[in-house]
Chains A and B, each alone.
Chain A
Amino acid sequence: MTERKGRVKNRPSFRAMIFLRRLSQGVFLVLFIVLFVKTDYNGTDHLDSAVNLLFRLDPFVAACVMLGVKSFVLLLLPSLAVLLLSLIFGRGFCGWFCPMGSLLDLTGKIVPQMDRNNRTSYPNLALIILVFALFSSACGFAVAGYFDPFSLLVRGMAQAFYPLLNSLTVGFFSFTYRTFPEVVNHVTEPVYGLLQAFILPSGQKYFHLATLSFFMLGGVFLLEGVQRRFFCRNICPLGAMLGVIGRWALVAGKGGSNDCGSCRICTNRCRMGAIDTERVIAMATCNLCFECVQKCPRQIINFGVSAPWSAPPSQTSLSRRRFVGAALAGVLLPSVKGVEALAKNPDPFLIRPPGALEEKEFLGRCVRCAECIQVCIGNALQPAFLQAGFDGMFSPILTARTGYCEFNCTLCGQVCPTGAIRELSPAEKRRLKIGHAWFDKNTCLPYAKGIPCMVCEEHCPTPEKAIRFKDVELINDAGLAVSVQQPYVVSGLCIGCGICENKCPLPGKAAVYITSAGEDRNAKSFLPSSGSIPYAG
């Protein structure tokens, strides 16, 4: 190792640590992106890898879900390992592993920061969010997905950035294809082919709330302009949770000393704002990036192993009043949900993915990670807006006009990290009823105008058709006597996949549509039929 003239270089072991940390960030970020892109149909019915692993490592998600459904969820067991690791490495997870953190570090290299004094803007906020989220989840109001870094990240990517990337790329290559001569296309088309094969999704998807998802994730990145790792310091409840344990971590920073004089390079440079003006390192915040060690001109600041009980007292913590306030808000807010009109009259167009649990249990488990939405082969699953209430925002619903549920596909249940959507066998999936189709005879062409159509019947996927037709003689809209086929639904066969609504050739509103009536997951829902007396009793 060469020593540079006039300046003592840092201890080589810490330079190696910084290299290792960057390597780790890079490897996990690439792994995350690969898993994200692979959260897609792979040519077989079974998906072998998906980005759901990330959520199963997330103790904040695990705590909220388990409190929400009041039971142990085995799928989330891996998150325990992260908790245990934080007993040794504190928030090292945030600095070395978290893909959101790594992306923010990358953003920080591009976005200039406004805040020079590097004091964390709202040092208590993340803890308040954590306490609020845990209490409100326990009381049946699942808000983990609003704040969880992985939910924000995967959701923003799935519902905005990834489809946007595709749209822009396809737009560009359509332009070159249509405008430029063959010579240019000989170069551009192979590039396009490669992108399609390895990076782009198989087709363009469209999403409700794409703009909102874009701004939520984009906002997290833009906040990097306020201070470095703004989200991690001020908002991230997962980070706060790891910090609560991390303050007693085995690995601990040894702050500055009297020898430092007026130097506060570490204080001003720390990306987490973990070092105070006395140069004490708060291990509840420090994410072990080790850059302070590198930047310390006199090699004073250092890290080592410390006894867990010797945590310094000056750590960020909530005052009793704030804790009680956050907890109370978490307890009270869910009660408002009970007087929403939706509590009495649920939205009939709220179609959940096949295998979704009963609504209360489903919302308790769903962390709005958008993986089902990302993997949905038909662009059928969309993030809900207010159809499922305030706490149901971004939870998956099927809107058939943008996409239908593919008959043989079981991918959403395979990727759900929390089991909010059960994994179904293909045979079970093909029988499971998620809704029911209804004809609007005022607009359906064979009824309204005597015009032949039957596109719905053609596409109906059940082996014994759930949509059938009867031959009818009538006077059509031109006043002519014609014979026409009129469709109808066989309730016992319709599974509510929505392909009829999707393929209905009418412009705008389809003449056949799906409601949640009769869905299998809801014991109270039923379909009246002439064979039973549903209204009795």
Chain B
Amino acid sequence: MNRRQFVRDVLLWSTGLSLGVPCFDVADVSAAPASPLIGVANGKDYKLLVVKAVEILGGIKEFVKSGDKVVIKPNMGWDRTPELGANTHPLVVRTLAELALDAGAAGIQVFDYTCNEKRRCYASSGIIDELEKIGDKRIRWEHIDPRKFVPVDIVGGKSLKRWEIYQDALTADCYINVPVAKHHGLSRLSLGLKNAMGVIGGNRGKLHHNLGQELADLATVIRPRLTVIDATRMLLRNGPQGGRVEDVKIADTVIAGTDPVAVDAYATTLFGLQPEEIDSTVAAHKLGLGEIDVQRMQIRTVQV
């Protein structure tokens, strides 16, 4: 089954026209490129960091075509202000939205299925404020609409066989994953794959019982075209929500890539850890979703 068929199934299911649970077969997951390209930008100007990191990958037009429906999925799951490092930095999200607009996106949706109360999270993260400053009607930030969760059969999943996933994340022409790099008690780090928790429904805590594998299983279905990891600030302790500036390291870094496993693996090294220490990275690599070995990546760094 190809992606187009899958998207059609999801839409049919959500309009009640089909009773069959949409099923995503991992068979068409194109083999990840042998040596994935990772764009890394360092510097104080966070907007420029995003622009430069994406430029390394060939620029935003590689990912967003004119007329595309774009979903930008930051981590804004916690009622915490930007300096506490629990949510994606608002400027990183805003810059991506501006880039997508420049590339001719027909519409941009920004959302997250929050852990704390949704309105508080959206407000405290500072992301909504920044998006509204752009003042473009094509940008729609919205709260999760429970009607839009669609059960999906995860054929490639080893542990997770079926779960409810947010329709817009599945059907977008271009899904951009924008996690923040931070500490997490159970999984050690919360990076790109962990950010998928914000587009799934159901009793999410259940995934914690075999978190690494189940995040990898989700990654067979939730497939960002571009991942931009915000490591401008890195929450080093008391993650994933933190709450003390002492626990936050200012790292002034943005990482971009198309290989969801490779970007996580590279970001892990910024914490002084090995990619093999993160269960979800290992599991996803084993599923053939991407590269784990940093030596085999093309890492291009730019100082801004």
Contacts and interface: CB of A to CB of B under 8 A. Distances in A.
B238 interface: yes
A377 to B, nearest CB: 5
B185 A505 contact: no
Interface stretch (A85-93, A157-165, A451-459, A527-535): A451-459
A461 B80 CA distance: 10
B241 interface: yes
Nearest to A193: B142
Given A174-B147, A377-B120, A454 B242 contact: no
Contacts of A462: 243
B123 interface: yes
A534 B16 CA distance: 62
Contacts of A179: 16
Given A174-B147, A455-B205, A457-B185, A202 B118 contact: yes
Contacts of A279: none
A41 interface: yes
B185 A463 contact: no
Contact of A463 (B116, B147, B243): B243
B134 to A, nearest CB: 19
Interface in A416-451: 445, 451
A409 B147 contact: no
A338 interface: no
B208 A455 contact: yes
Contact of A43 (B119, B184, B242): B119
B209 A409 contact: no
Interface residues of A, number: 36
Nearest to A430: B243
**Chain B residues touching A, range:** 20 to 34
B29 interface: no
Given A452-B211, A463-B238, A505-B208, A485 B120 contact: no
Contacts of A494: none
Question: Which of A203, A463, A469: most chain B CB closer than 10 A?
Answer: A463
Interface in A174-189: 174, 177-179, 181-182
B117 A43 contact: no
Contacts of B14: 178
B244 interface: yes
A505 B186 contact: no
A407 B209 contact: no
B35 interface: no
A375 to B, nearest CB: 12
A378 interface: yes
A48 interface: no
A408 interface: yes
A451 B208 CA distance: 9
A465 interface: yes
A455 B238 CA distance: 13
A462 B244 CA distance: 9
B240 interface: yes
B14 to A, nearest CB: 7
Contacts of A453: 186, 205, 208-209
B115 A406 contact: no
A198 to B, nearest CB: 15
Nearest to B243: A463
B15 interface: yes
Interface in A460-474: 461-465, 469
A279 to B, nearest CB: 58
A229 interface: no
B117 A178 contact: no
A505 B14 CA distance: 27
Interface in A82-132: none
Interface of A: 41, 43-44, 174, 177-179, 181-182, 202-203, 377-378, 406-409, 445, 451-455, 457-459, 461-465, 469, 485, 503-505
Interface of B: 14-16, 79, 115-120, 123-124, 143, 147, 184-186, 203-206, 208-211, 238, 240-244, 247
29 contacts: A41-B117, A41-B120, A44-B123, A177-B147, A178-B14, A178-B15, A179-B16, A181-B15, A202-B118, A202-B119, A406-B116, A408-B124, A452-B210, A453-B186, A453-B205, A453-B208, A453-B209, A454-B185, A454-B208, A455-B208, A458-B115, A459-B241, A463-B243, A469-B185, A485-B186, A503-B205, A504-B205, A505-B206, A505-B208
